[in-house]
Amino acid sequence: MLKAAEIRDDTVIGIEAGWAGLLENRMREIKFADFEDAIGVGGTMLTTSRTNPLKNDNGIEIVQASLKKAEIDALIAVGGDDTLGVAAKLSEKGARVLGIPKTIDNDLAGTDYSFGFFTAVDETMKLIESLATTGRSHERVMVVEVMGRDAGWIASLSGMAAGASIILVPEFKTDIESVADMVMLRQKRGKKSAVIVVAEGVDLGYKGEIEKDEFGHPLVAKSDESNAAFLARYIEKKTGIETRATVLGHTVRGTPPNAYDRVMTTRMGFHAVEAIHKGRSGIMVAIHGLDIVEVPLAEGSKKRYLDGETWRVAKSFFG
Ligand code: F6P
């Protein structure tokens, strides 16, 4: 068992701007006191980027050379499937690398939850409820778009928690005519307003070519028209009910972490440091149920989509 003092004796080098930091030599030592105020702050004090070293012919070699030059014994990569996919490649090449799952999208195969996700769900739930309140006052349909370019975790869990009338996710197709029909059905039942949650990555069939990032993912948040705006226009036209669109997008990505995320992250970070002291490499620290576990990085960093069972439950409350 590792003692706190041993952890405090480690030298911690913070790498700035994700993989760009190792390509451009942007790193600095982090002292224990630097963490003091960090627990309740969203975002990252190290900054981040969407730089992909695999796009560069000898990117992995540059990263390895930077680690060696900075005398870094082990690297803890914190991120989603892109960041951890690179970490897995680096580990294959012999570097000592561990991963920690951090993505608002919650779409990593090896863990039940990634940190940041439940904070986003909490915040989104409150904002959906607030939109539902103004929707009820004005007897309007409120369409709210949330992040999730190919995974509907935020949309489904926050929508479920806020009692949304309908939720649309990328994994399970919902035809938009049935959305308008459901709004009309609500009217017949005396419900004069509705709140509809749509994930940004749902394909409503109107978008053309979308710019991609270095990992080849569509930058849906940069689209000319949001899913919310498109859907709101469609619903208003089809039903004749006044409809408004709101895109939450990046607003929920900078909120202070909730208690669950703070505790889970602390446990994961502690476990990762202990794992380094035990000589481990090529693993991702994960949460399975209530337990912090280790899973192979290459497997754990793969994508995970919203499961059919969660969707079945969410769907049963639509209308
Ligand atoms: O990968 C996480 C994510 O939050 C996606 O849900 C979203 O599409 C994307 O990031 C937005 O990226 P950016 O901050 O580069 O616009």
Distance between CA 295 and CA 103 in Å, rounded? Answer: 17
What pLDDT, in 10s, does the model give residues 96-128? 999 999 999 999 999 999 999 999 999 999 999
Distance between CA 101 and CA 113 in Å, rounded? Answer: 8
- Out of 49, 81, 104, give the residue to mutate to test ligand 1, the one with the largest number of ligand atoms within 8 Å of its CB: 104
Distance between CA 273 and CA 262 in Å, rounded? Answer: 17
Res 4 pLDDT > 60: no
DSSP 240-257: ---EEEEE-GGGGGGSPP
Q: Whose alpha carbon is nearest atom 16 of ligand 1? A: 221
Separation of 294 CA from ligand 1 center, angstroms?
26
**H runs (alpha helix) in 215-307:** 227-239, 259-277, 297-300
Average pLDDT, whole number, for the chain?
A: 95
CATH number among 1.10.3720.10, 3.40.50.1100, 3.40.50.460, 3.40.47.10, domain 117-254: 3.40.50.460
What pLDDT, in 10s, does the model give residues 275-290? 999 999 999 999 999 9
* Residues within 6 Å of ligand 1 by CB: 50, 80, 103-105, 147-149, 200, 219-221
Q: Which atom of ligand 1 is nearest the CA belonging to 250?
A: 14
Which one, of 174, 244, 177, 180, lies nearest residue 203 by Cα? 174
Distance between CA 83 and CA 58 in Å, rounded? Answer: 17
Separation of 97 CA from ligand 1 center, angstroms?
24
Distance between CA 97 and CA 278 in Å, rounded? Answer: 13
The CATH number assigned to the domain with range 2-115+257-301 reads 3.40.50.450
Separation of 168 CA from ligand 1 center, angstroms?
18
- Confidence class of residue 32 from pLDDT cuts 50, 70 and 90? confident
205 contact partners, CB below 8 Å, separation of at least 6: none
What pLDDT, in 10s, does the model give residues 182-238? 999 999 999 999 999 999 999 998 877 778 899 988 888 777 899 999 999 999 999
Q: What is the mean pLDDT of residues 28-49?
A: 91
Topology agreement, domain 2-115+257-301 and domain 117-254: yes
User: Which member of 81, 105, 122, 261 is catalytic?
Assistant: 105
What pLDDT, in 10s, does the model give residues 52-63? 999 988 999 999
Domain boundaries defined on the chain: 2-115+257-301, 117-254
